[in-house]
Amino acid sequence: MNELGVYVHVPFCRRRCDYCAFATYTDRDALMERYVAACVADVVRATEAGELCEATSVFFGGGTPSRLPAPWLARILATIPRAPDAEVTVECNPEDASGARLDTYRAAGVTRMSFGVQSTAPHVLAALGRGHDPETVPRAVEAAAAAGFSRVNVDLIYGAAGETDDDWARTIHDVLTLPHPPGHVSAYALTVEPGTPLARDPVRHPDDDVQASRYEMIEAELSATGYRWEEVSNWARPGQECRHNQLYWRQGDYVGIGSAAHSHRGGASGGTRWWNVRTPDRYVAAFEAGRSPVAGEEHVEGDQYELERLMLSLRTPAGVPGSALPDSAELDGLVVREGDRAVLTVRGRLMANAVSSMLLTDAAAPRGTVTGAAPGAGTPGRYPAPL
């Protein structure tokens, strides 16, 4: 069966984190019910148009999906045609993880929870603009286990102002010693995005060398406790890999539902990407007026499409064909040659963007050199993101 993912964007948040540049809003809760109706209409339209058949994975992201009343999220999910073994993930703030909410998710067909923990140090959470108390984290994970979830992810962020090596080590320890440790861990370097409060406060900008050290710390701890890297910023125990994210990394097909959501349909020689209007107001208005919510699209073909495929694969243990990277001393210590594949080392993961600049396709010359890369160019960041 061909894989197909569905991403549902929930743009509502209780508060906006200082580093967030996503299409999220703290003042649009009054739109929630109409937004849910528009998402349901979007799924019906995509299904009737043949764009959405049986999904093998569904991912509710945001924003804060747990900001929606649980039955409303379940209503959207019920509309999405799914394969019998489909993976269904919902992102959730730890403070929202009540037993009643998680029971509703589980009964609706959710199979995987993803908790936005970020840190277990209160002063680091404050520096990130996060609102939860670290004590809510074990309660959330316990509630997930009690509701029958055997697949749980924890999101972490490193590099915030005031965070020390000891703070980061404690966060990793706290996560790995939970009564029900998560099977999947995502750890992202704090990234300064234009237009955010963080961008306007240089004193709080992260240090590239510190972030590299923090990455090496979590890689060492997770590898020592049975996790394996799944992608530059993601690790999983065997059997706990995220099918939905893997679909992105393999340049698979997915349908985006909701405001600002992106879709992709690929073929042998190229693909098409399209995206919806950014704000929930315009998204709701489009459906209520009988208009398409699509704001734009682009076609990518040939060498550029192949290059994007290589860039995505390079970030995973699958690596790229050996012929896709030159035999250059600049890559010493950054990749290892395993049979006919080239795979990033730990140091190479920290320089992933720089290594990507050297990728070759059948008709392309190298795109650049490692030496020419900007400092910190490969520091792992929030992913997946548009290319």
Burial grade of 12 (CB within 10 A; 0-12, 13-18, 19 or more): buried
For residues 243 and 350, state if they share a domain.
no
Per-residue pLDDT of the chain (387 residues; tens, 9 = 90+): 589 999 999 999 998 888 999 999 999 999 999 999 999 999 999 999 999 999 999 999 999 999 999 999 999 999 999 999 999 999 999 999 999 999 999 999 999 999 999 999 999 999 888 878 899 999 999 999 999 999 999 999 999 999 999 999 999 999 999 999 999 999 999 999 999 999 999 999 999 999 999 999 999 999 999 999 999 999 999 999 999 999 999 999 999 999 999 999 998 889 999 999 999 999 999 999 999 999 999 999 999 999 999 999 999 999 999 999 999 999 999 999 989 999 999 999 999 999 999 999 764 444 544 333 222 223 333 333 333
- Contacts of 168 by beta carbon, 8 Å cutoff, 6+ apart: 119, 158, 214, 217, 218
Tokens representing 122? 């209160």
Residue at a domain's end among 204, 230, 247: 247
**DSSP β-ladder status, 184-189 and 55-62:** unpaired
- Residue among 271, 249, 269, 247 nearest 361 (CA): 269
pLDDT one-digit tens code per residue, 279-336: 999 999 999 999 999 999 999 999 999 999 999 999 999 999 999 999 999 999 999 9
Asked whether residue 220 is domain-assigned, the answer is: yes
Residue at a domain's end among 247, 273, 306: 247
Asked whether residue 314 is domain-assigned, the answer is: no
Asked whether residue 290 is domain-assigned, the answer is: no
Amino acid at 356: S
For residues 219 and 109, state if they share a domain.
yes
Q: Distance between CA 343 and CA 326 in Å, rounded?
A: 13
Angle between helices 32-48 and 70-79 (to 10 degrees): 10
Radius of gyration of the chain (CA): 21
For residues 361 and 240, state if they share a domain.
no
- DSSP reduced 3-state for 278: coil
For residues 190 and 334, state if they share a domain.
no
Count of domains for the chain: 2
Burial 115-133 (b: 16+ CB within 10 A, else e): bbbbbbbeebbebbbbebe
Residue at a domain's end among 247, 279, 303: 247
Tokens representing 161? 């102002």
Asked whether residue 277 is domain-assigned, the answer is: no
CATH number assigned to the domain comprising residue 161: 3.20.20.70
Asked whether residue 370 is domain-assigned, the answer is: yes
Domain range holding 217? Answer: 4-247
The reply to whether omega before 148 is within 30° of 0 (cis) is: no
Tokens representing 383? 């992913």
For residues 222 and 351, state if they share a domain.
no
Asked whether residue 19 is domain-assigned, the answer is: yes
CB 381 within 8 A of CB 211: no
Asked whether residue 292 is domain-assigned, the answer is: no
- Residue among 271, 251, 275, 247 nearest 263 (CA): 275
Asked whether residue 283 is domain-assigned, the answer is: no
- Residue among 302, 351, 300, 295 nearest 325 (CA): 351
